[in-house]
Amino acid sequence: MKPADPARLSLNTITTKKWTLAQAIEGCARHGIRGITVWRDRLQEMGVSAAVQSIKAHGLAVTGLCRGGMFPAPDAVGRKAAIDDNLRAIEEAQALGASCLILVVGGLPAGSKDIAGAREQVRDGIAAILPHAKAAKVPLAIEPLHPMQAADRACINTLGQALDVCDLLDPGKTGALGVAVDVYHVWWDPQLEAQIARAGKARLLAHHICDWLVPTKDLAFDRGMMGDGIIDLPRIRALVEGAGYAGYSEVEIFSEPDWWQRDPDQVLRIMKERYATCC
């Protein structure tokens, strides 16, 4: 297997939560990290034009915008508001030249126990925004989230399920709709190999890395640095690259007790080392 290519390492800015977007852009440049995935709250804070200018000045690739999605809502007003917000996200992703807009699709609407219904709302929401995304040339990346987040964050929970939505809404595999393969969400899936192969180059829009800690102490905010857990990262990278993915590997670590507490420059140094040795 080919070693991980340092030129394809990307920082998801949630990993360095202490930093503003301006600091994260400068940090990537300082550490020779060439890709960055941006969160929208930090983008608003900095301003889109300033962010575009700084990212360009520092020669970074924008490997994604986090995030669109969150489609299900208890009523039509809420669903319309979600779609409007996704349209704004598409505009922002276009302005940044992001390689995709990440969709965290949303969980059950408040008070609902109808996961099948939530999944229909997600499908309808993506269908509503897809023409706009195509026109803006912003690929939409459905990110299946770990089943432990099915109720509150995303009711699309396997790659197979995400690809079913892709095949329904974009049967021609135009490149406008695909998936984000985050190892944290999918490492356990007995169908992982088959579904990555099914996705192929046309649907593989992002590859997110981190690690699964044993024990894991929180359902959302206790991810590990690559090498500190039990995910076979080289195997999953080999699968996505074997299926044709030629983009970045993006480090996305939600870690309240550990990595969010550290000096972000240390985090970037360690993630570069680990990327070279464990991924």
- How far apart are the C-alpha atoms of 205 and 191, rounded to whole Å? 19
Q: Which residues contact 36 (CB under 8 A, 6 or more apart)?
A: 10, 11, 12, 13, 24, 25, 28, 55, 60, 61, 62, 63
Binding span for a copy of itself by CB under 8 A among 62-70, 110-118, 129-137, 251-259: 110-118
Question: Rule CB under 8 A: is residue 15 a binding residue for a copy of itself?
Answer: no
The residue within the footprint of a copy of itself, chosen from 15, 16, 158, 249 (CB under 8 A), is: 158
Closest approach, Cβ 124 to a copy of itself, in A, equals 16
Q: Which residues contact 56 (CB under 8 A, 6 or more apart)?
A: none
Binding span for a copy of itself by CB under 8 A among 18-26, 84-92, 146-154, 249-257: 146-154
The residue within the footprint of a copy of itself, chosen from 8, 17, 146, 223 (CB under 8 A), is: 146
Binding span for a copy of itself by CB under 8 A among 50-58, 63-71, 158-166, 170-178: 158-166
Question: Rule CB under 8 A: is residue 161 a binding residue for a copy of itself?
Answer: yes
Q: Please, which residue, 89 or 231, has the CB nearer to a copy of itself?
A: 231
The site for a copy of itself, by CB under 8 A, has a size of: 31
Helical axes 76-96 vs 48-57, angle rounded to 10°: 30
**3-state SS assignment for residue 67:** strand
**How many other CB atoms sit within 10 Å of the CB of residue 109?**
17
Q: Please, which residue, 139 or 224, has the CB nearer to a copy of itself?
A: 224
- Give the side-chain half-sphere CA count within 13 A for 101: 32
Closest approach, Cβ 49 to a copy of itself, in A, equals 37
CA-wise closest residue to 203 among 211, 213, 195, 191? 195
Binding span for a copy of itself by CB under 8 A among 21-29, 39-47, 154-162, 261-269: 154-162
Question: Rule CB under 8 A: is residue 212 a binding residue for a copy of itself?
Answer: yes
Contact map string, positions 113 to 142, toward a copy of itself, x by CB under 8 A: xxx---x-----------------------
The residue within the footprint of a copy of itself, chosen from 20, 44, 53, 216 (CB under 8 A), is: 216
Phi, psi at 168, each rounded to 5°: -70, -45
Is the peptide bond preceding residue 215 cis, with omega within 30 degrees of 0?
yes
CA-wise closest residue to 275 among 252, 258, 242, 256? 252
Q: Which residues contact 29 (CB under 8 A, 6 or more apart)?
A: 58, 59, 60
Provide the binding-site residues for a copy of itself, judged by CB under 8 A: 108, 112-115, 119, 146-148, 150-152, 155, 157-158, 160-161, 187-190, 212, 214-219, 230-232
